Amino acid sequence: MEKTLVLLKPCTLQRGLVGEVINRFEKRGLRLAGMKMMQLTDELLNEHYAHLREKPFFQILKDSMMCTPVIACCFEGIEAVRVVRAMAGSTNGRNALPGTIRGDYCMSNQQNIVHTSDSLENAEVELARFFRPEEIFDFESSNLKYLYASDEL
């Protein structure tokens, strides 16, 4: 099964949406395999958002990610990277479809509730960036045979 990283951004903590957002992933059937609150640093964000370092909004983005702690989550499921990314919706909340997390909870291109890994390769790199190996838990989900058909497992 795939594991992917979700970060609940400072805007989500400030707006009291932590429970609702985690609830969506749980209800979908993703297994919460790791979760912790952490204060991000400039150094970590330079790595995490390296693909955006030339953008004019880079410093504003980093500041917005450091203004309070974030909550880092690892969710697991079959094709979890793609499923979680689709649940987040388009980057710009104003373009995100209703029914997606961003489409239901935000109006911003930047204060957009969650970070989600965009590929399996990046999910592995990002999970290693935010979690130590012992902070990811591989317990078996008791409802697995009701979440998936036997030939999917």
Per DSSP, the three-state class of 9 is coil
Sequence-distant (≥ 6) Cβ neighbours of residue 92 within 8 angstroms:
102, 108, 109, 112
Residue type, 89: G
Q: For residues 76 and 59, what is the distance between their CA atoms, to the nearest angstrom?
A: 31
- Nearer to ligand IDP by Cβ, of 33 and 116: the residue is 116
Name the minimum Å distance from CB 33 to ligand IDP. 21
Contact between 12 and ligand IDP per CB under 6 A: no
Contact window for Mg ion (CB under 5 A) among 54-62, 101-109, 115-123, 137-145: 115-123
Element (H, E) at 44: helix 42-48
- Nearer to Mg ion by Cβ, of 27 and 51: the residue is 51
Contact window for ligand IDP (CB under 6 A) among 12-20, 22-30, 110-118, 140-148: 110-118
137 binds, among ligand IDP, Mg ion, none (CB under 5 to 8 A by kind): none
Per DSSP, the three-state class of 34 is strand
Q: Which of 87, 112, 130, 131 binds ligand IDP (CB under 6 A)?
A: 112
End-to-end Cα separation, the chain, in angstroms: 9
Binding mask 42-61 for ligand IDP (x = CB under 6 A): ----------x----x---x
**What does DSSP say about strands 70-77 and 2-8: parallel, antiparallel, or unpaired?**
antiparallel
Q: Which residues bind ligand IDP (CB under 6 A)?
A: 52, 57, 61, 91, 109-110, 112, 115, 118
